[in-house]
Amino acid sequence: MRSIRDKQYIAGVKELKCYLLKNGCIYEENYFNPIEDKIIVEKDVLKFSLDIDKDNKLHIACVNNDKNLIYITKDKNKWNKRILSKVKSYYKIKDIKLYTNLNNKTTNNILLLVKDTRSRDMYSVFFYYIKNSNWNLKKIVDLYYDKYQPSFKSDIDYKGNLHILFKTKENAKYKIYYKTYDAFHNKWGLAEKITENTQDIINTLILCDTNNNANIVWCSLLDKNININFIRRKINLYKRTSWKEFSTLPKDISNLTYPTLIQVNNNLKFGWKQNNFYNIIKTSLDKDNWKKSTSIKLDSKDLLMPIEIAGYNFKNFDIIKAPYTYIYLSENDRIIPGIDEIPTIKDTKQDKIQNSDNITDFNDIGESLNDKNSCDTTNHNSELGYLPYLNNMGKSIEESSIVNDIYPNYNFQTQSNDLQGFINKLNSLYKEIEDVKNKELTLLNSILDLRKKNNKIYRKIEEILSDYNEFDTAISNQD
C-alpha cells in the first residue's frame, strides 16, 4: 500500500473538482476525469489549504518558496491572487489551514504551523485574522517535541467558532491540549489539557459535528496493540463541561494506521487501516451504539491518499464533514471509505481481519455486507443461477449505509431539489429491485411446487410399473 503525505482537497458546487500539490504546483483537476481536465493554479508552492465560503466561493491560502503567504480566490473561472504577508526566514513551514466561515461570515482566517530553526525542538502556531480591514498576526502557542513533528488538528463548529487540538512534550511527558476561538468576540480561550502519557500519543483527530458536539480521538501503544481513546462533549465556550467516553467503541486494535473521523448525515464514523483492510464503524450522533459499517479490501499496489472535503456538501449527501480522511485510488475506481459505501451484489467472502481478542463485537468486520444477508444456499442455487443474488441484493441495499446515509431528512432546510430528485430515483430503483425479487421468488416457489408435484407423479408411475411387473410375473408363473 502506497501513500502520499500531502493532503488533497475535494470541492465543487456545479462540478466536483480535486485540488492537489504536486512538484511544487497546485493543480485543479476534474474529480471524475483527472487526466484530461487539469490546470495549474499556482507554482512554487510549499504548502496550501482550501475552503469554501457560505456563498460557495472557493478560497486558497498557500506559502511559496519565497516564504510569501498568498491568498487566492476564484471568480467566474478566473483566479485572483495577492500577497498577504511574508513568513520570517528562520521559520520552516510545516502546515497551513484556511477557514473562511468563522462566525458564519465570509472572513478569512489562517492557521500556520512552523518550526523555529533557531531551536531544535520548538514549533509555533500562528493565527492570521482580519481586523479593521487589515491582516493581523497572533502567536497561539509554542509546541515542544523531540523526535517527530507535533500533531496539530483543527475544526469549526456550526456557529463558526474554531477548535484546535495540539500535542506537545513537557517534563518528559506527551500531552494533548484543546483550545477554542470565539469568533464573535475575537477571543481565544485557555488551553485545556486532555491527557498526558510517558509514551508517545499518536493519531489525534477532532471533529465538531452538527449536533454541537466536540469529538476527540487519540491513540497510544499498549501491549503491542493500539489503544483508542474517544471522548466527546457538548460545545459551550463559556462553561467547561465534562468529557464522556464511548463505551461501545473497541479499545485495543492491532496495526491501526490511517485513522479517520467524519460525519455523514446523522452518523458519526470512525475508520482505520488494519493489515489489508480499511474498516469503518459508525454510531448515530449523540448516541453510543457503535457498529460495523463496511470494510474495504486494499491492494498493495494501489494508493491511499489523505484528503479533505471542503464545505458541508458532497455528491448527494445532506451533510458531509470530513476534515481528515482518505481516498483509496485503485486501478479502476476512487473510493472514500465511510462515504462511498456501495453494497456488493456478488456473494463472495473477504478474509477476516485479524482483530485483537478484546474486540469480540468487531471480529467479523472484514466480511462483506452480503455475508450476513446471504440466502439459504440449497441445492436449488446451481439451477436458479442469479436468483439468490437478487434476493441478497434487496437485503443488502435495505440494511447498508447507502440507504441509511442517503435517505432524506425532511426537516433539513437546506435540502436541494437535485437531492430530492436523486432520492426519488433511488426509491424507484429500490422498488423495482423489490418487484423483480418478489417475481423471481414467486417463480422459485412455482418451480419448487412443480418439482414436488412431478416427484409425486414420478412416484405414482413407479408404483404402477411395480404393480404391473408383479402382475406380469404372476401371469407368467401361472403359464
Phi, psi of 172 (to 5 degrees): 65, 20
Question: Which of 401, 201, 177, 447 is closest to 296 using CA atoms?
Answer: 401
Give pLDDT, residue 364: 38
Domain at 2-349, CATH class: mainly beta
Write the CB contacts of 462 (distance below 8 Å, at least 6 apart in sequence): none
Question: Which of 236, 217, 241 is closest to 161 using CA atoms?
Answer: 236
Phi, psi of 331 (to 5 degrees): -65, -30
Give the C-alpha separation, 298 to 283, whole Å: 24
Per-residue pLDDT of the chain (479 residues; tens, 9 = 90+): 444 557 888 887 567 889 999 999 999 988 877 776 789 999 999 999 999 888 888 999 999 999 999 999 988 788 999 999 999 999 999 999 999 988 777 678 999 999 999 987 889 999 998 887 788 899 999 998 766 666 789 999 988 999 999 998 888 899 999 999 999 888 999 999 999 998 888 889 999 999 999 999 998 877 777 888 999 999 999 888 899 998 887 777 878 889 999 999 999 999 999 888 999 999 999 889 999 888 888 887 778 889 998 876 676 667 889 999 998 887 777 888 888 864 433 333 333 333 333 333 333 333 333 333 333 333 333 334 444 444 444 444 444 444 444 434 434 444 455 566 677 677 778 777 877 777 777 777 777 777 666 776 767 777 777 766 766 666 666 65
Phi, psi of 86 (to 5 degrees): -125, 125
Give the C-alpha separation, 50 to 72, whole Å: 9
How many Cβ atoms are within 10 Å of 166's Cβ, its own excluded? 24
3-state secondary structure of 81: strand
Phi, psi of 424 (to 5 degrees): -60, -40
Give the C-alpha separation, 237 to 185, whole Å: 11
Give pLDDT, residue 421: 66
- Rounded (10°) angle between helices 387-399 and 417-478: 150
User: Cell match 510517558: residue?
Assistant: 198
pTM (two decimals): 0.70
Give pLDDT, residue 272: 92
In sequence order, what DSSP letters do the residues of 202-236 get, joined into one string?
Answer: EEEEEEE-TTSEEEEEEEEEETTEEEEEEEEEE--
User: Cell match 451533510: residue?
Assistant: 319
Terminal alpha carbon distance of the chain: 87
* Residue spans of alpha helices (H) in 356-386: 369-372, 381-384
4: alpha, beta or left, given left = phi > 0 and alpha = psi -120 to 50?
A: beta
Give pLDDT, residue 70: 96
